[in-house]
Structure formats: C-alpha cells, structure tokens
Amino acid sequence: MIPAVFLDRDGVIIENVSTYVRSWVDVRLIPGAIDALIHISQSPYKIVIVTNQSAVGRKIISTAQADRINSRLLDIIRQAGGRIDGLFMCPHAPIDHCDCRKPKPGLILQASQQLDIDLENSLLIGDAISDLLAGQAAGVGQTVLVRTGRGASQEAISHPRNLKPFLVFDDLAQALGTLIRL
C-alpha cells in the first residue's frame, strides 16, 4: 500500500465559481497549483483528486460535460509535467444524501480501494471544512486547509467539535512544498 495526496479540485487547483464550473471557459487555474503538482510528481505518493460536482446532480451540467472539464484539467497537468493517478467525482446534489459527497468519506474510500492507498500515512488538502471531515472520516492521517477558494472564510468560522486538528497553508504550493520533501 502506498500513501496518497488527496486534493480537492475547486478552490485548491482551480478557482471556485459561485455559478459552478459549467465549461472550460469557467476554469481559472490557481496560481502556483500546476507548479506544485509538478514538484511532487516524482514523489512516491499517489496523487488523487476528489471532487464534489453537484452541478451534475442539480442538472446544471451533464456528467459528460463534467468529465470533459476534468479530462482537460488532467491533460494540462500532465502536459506540464505533473501527474494525477486518479480523479474521483461525486456527481450528486446535496439532497441526494449519497455516501460519496464530502463530508462523507465515500470518494476517498473508493480511491483507496481502487489504488491500494495507505490512508493512515496519506494527506488530504482542501479549501473547505467538508473536505477535512471527509478525510478524517476516511482515516486520512493528515488534513490540510488551504486559504485559496473558500479556505480563508472556512478558517474563520466555528468548526465542528468532532473536527480533529489540521494544518493551514496559504495555497497548494506552500502546503506541498512544506509537507512533501523530495
């Protein structure tokens, strides 16, 4: 089993969009995110994106549209010299009460099973408390909040009592540069 770096997509790699990422036109890469992924591409960690995309469940975009956006992002990361070992997406709306929508751990557990991941020695980086709760519920050893996306506002709110301590960094580059030594 190999540890992984689990990454949220919106707010960590690309900018959050209040009206949802509906097409590639809506995608804005967060400065430094691709370089950070290139930096860890030679690490022994699996690199896995776990993303809620409720725009699909809300019928704002189709699953095929979401898949095209994700595929293009992966292509850009790989063409730049980065590596992504898996992308797991929850397409459900919050009202669906599925097991894969963060803060539930389903996406992380699915990735762990498919990619033979050592959760205890893995880390999860997200921009929302729901990301951290999902990582914690799945048994991920270290959870990290980045201040990009919704992270700065999430850092300032009252946290659930069951949320274990977590690290905070300004962005993905700072988090990975600090936590993954090559």
**95 vs 30: CA distance, rounded Å:** 29
Task: Characterize 9-24 residue by residue with b for buried, 16 or more Cβ atoms within 10 angstroms of its Cβ, and e for exposed.
Answer: bbbbbbbbeeebbeee
Q: Catalytic residue at 8? A: yes
Q: Which candidate in 10, 127, 131, 171 is catalytic?
A: 10
Q: Is 75 a catalytic residue?
A: no
Whether residue 38 contacts residue 80, with contact meaning beta carbons closer than 8 Å, is answered with yes
Pairing of strands 46-52, 86-90: parallel
Residues 6+ apart with CB under 8 A from 164: 136, 143
Residue 171's alpha-carbon distances to 66, 89, 113, 132, in angstroms, are 24, 22, 28, 15
Cα–Cα distance measured from residue 56 to residue 58, given in angstroms and rounded to the nearest whole number: 5
Q: Which residues are catalytic?
A: 8, 10
